């Protein structure tokens, strides 16, 4: 709710209604989803969901995460009663916990509703869309961080270097990092674990941490051998953790593969361009006027 806190002062009924309709607690979200009607999707939406199956299956086959749970979820796309919980994110380098929290939240919502109503009564798919059409200029797509007492500013940073020529390349067009860079990252993390163990010698078992890391890095190397692009390398790793380590049935798909699914939506947006343009302009003016009044009020108080 903190995301919307600075909108509360905007005297606009549409914004106020939108904010008030957003649940704050997990229990409130469950209540809203429980009371929502199980509407059957129309034939157009069902057709789009059917189109989703191909790029989803393609992703999981390439990532080697087409588990039975994933296959079962894909089949639910043909059911007009199925609800979709969607989360999205860029394919960040060694994705941080915030990305996984989105997936965990949707899984928790799904599990709670299935427990309450039965999985055959409430049919739910968790879909994670990999936003792979952003530019490499986005810093977190090419950077990962670990807390470290042995580095300046208390941070160990892993980086995928970019230069001026590829800074504005789309992430799904960037080739895999070199094997030398992959080995360098491995060495950095290995040293980080070793230093952590020395600092917390009576708390952390050094051998357990290193064994866990070695098993994890074998998986990283396997994913590296399957990936064709930098984007795939990062997103396949997320899928392996979610679909194989946790055995979740979350479905993954690349946004760049969804143009056929969004075709009707694109047509609708283009045909209603003037309406959306005016709405956006009015929204911007609303916030600009509010900021202007705040500044004028500050000047008067001064």
User: What are the domain boundaries of the chain?
Assistant: 141-230, 272-301
Give the model's pLDDT for residue 5. 58
The residues near 176 (Cβ < 8 Å, ≥ 6 apart) are 224, 227, 228, 229, 230, 233
Strand partners, 125: 84
Q: Is a pLDDT exceeding 80 seen at residue 131?
A: yes
Question: Rounded to 5 degrees, what are φ and ψ at 258?
Answer: -105, 10
Confidence of residue 149 (pLDDT cuts 50, 70, 90): confident
Confidence of residue 67 (pLDDT cuts 50, 70, 90): very high
- How do residues 74-90 score in pLDDT, each as one tens digit? 999 999 989 999 999 99
Q: Is a pLDDT exceeding 50 seen at residue 28?
A: yes
Q: Is a pLDDT exceeding 70 seen at residue 200?
A: no
Give the mean pLDDT of 192-202.
74
Distances (CA, A) of 193 to 33, 63, 131, 196: 43, 27, 31, 5
Helices assigned H by DSSP within the chain:
13-21, 26-35, 43-63, 68-75, 97-117, 179-199, 206-226, 230-239, 259-271, 273-301
Give the mean pLDDT of 165-179.
90
CB 114 within 8 A of CB 30: no
50-87 core/surface letters (b: 16 or more CB in 10 A; e: else): ebbeebbbebbebbbbbeebbeebbebbeeeebbbbeb
Confidence of residue 291 (pLDDT cuts 50, 70, 90): low
Query: Whats the size of the chain, residue-wise?
Result: 302
- How do residues 31-66 score in pLDDT, each as one tens digit? 888 876 666 778 888 899 999 999 999 999 999 999
Predicted TM-score of the model (pTM):
0.85
Distances (CA, A) of 117 to 70, 249, 288, 297, 302: 21, 18, 46, 53, 59
Confidence of residue 1 (pLDDT cuts 50, 70, 90): very low
* 154 CB burial (10 A radius; 0-12, 13-18, 19+): exposed
Give 120 or 275, the one with higher predicted confidence: 275
Q: Among 11-15, 46-50, 181-185, 244-248, whose mean pLDDT is lowest?
A: 11-15
Separation between Cα atoms, residue 295 and residue 120, nearest integer Å: 56
CB 63 within 8 A of CB 236: yes
Q: Is a pLDDT exceeding 90 seen at residue 248?
A: yes
CB 249 within 8 A of CB 126: yes
CB 107 within 8 A of CB 140: no
Q: Is a pLDDT exceeding 90 seen at residue 227?
A: yes
How large a percentage of the chain has pLDDT more than 90?
A: 50
Q: What is the dihedral of CA 191, 192, 193, 194, to 10 degrees?
A: 50
């Amino acid at each position: 709710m903190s995301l919307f806190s600075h909108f509360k002062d905007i005297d606009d009924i549409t914004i106020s209604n939108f904010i008030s309709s957003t649940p704050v607690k997990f229990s409130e979200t469950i209540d809203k989803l429980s009371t929502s009607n199980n509407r059957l999707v129309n034939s157009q939406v069902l057709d789009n969901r059917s189109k989703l199956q191909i790029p989803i299956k393609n992703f999981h086959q390439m990532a080697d995460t087409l588990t039975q749970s994933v296959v079962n979820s894909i089949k639910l796309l043909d059911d007009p009663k199925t609800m979709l919980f969607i989360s999205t994110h860029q394919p960040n380098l060694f994705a941080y916990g915030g990305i996984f929290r989105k997936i965990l939240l949707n899984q928790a919502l799904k599990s709670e509703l299935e427990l309450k109503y039965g999985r055959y009564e409430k049919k739910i798919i968790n879909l994670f869309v990999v936003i792979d059409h952003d530019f490499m200029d986005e810093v977190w797509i090419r950077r990962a961080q670990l807390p470290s007492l042995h580095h300046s500013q208390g941070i160990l940073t892993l980086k995928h270097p970019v230069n001026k020529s590829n800074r504005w390349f789309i992430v799904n067009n960037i080739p895999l990092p070199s094997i030398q860079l992959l080995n360098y990252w491995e060495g950095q993390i290995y040293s980080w674990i070793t230093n952590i163990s020395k600092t917390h010698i009576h708390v952390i078992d050094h051998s357990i941490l290193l064994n866990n890391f070695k098993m994890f890095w074998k998986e990283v190397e396997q994913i590296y051998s399957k990936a064709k692009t930098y984007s795939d390398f990062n997103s396949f790793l997320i899928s392996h953790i979610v679909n194989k380590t946790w055995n979740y049935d979350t479905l993954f798909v690349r946004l760049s593969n969804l143009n056929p699914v969004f075709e009707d939506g694109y047509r609708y947006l283009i045909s209603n361009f003037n309406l959306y343009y005016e709405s956006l302009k009015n929204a911007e003016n609303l916030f600009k006027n509010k900021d202007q009044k705040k500044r004028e009020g500050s000047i008067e108080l001064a």
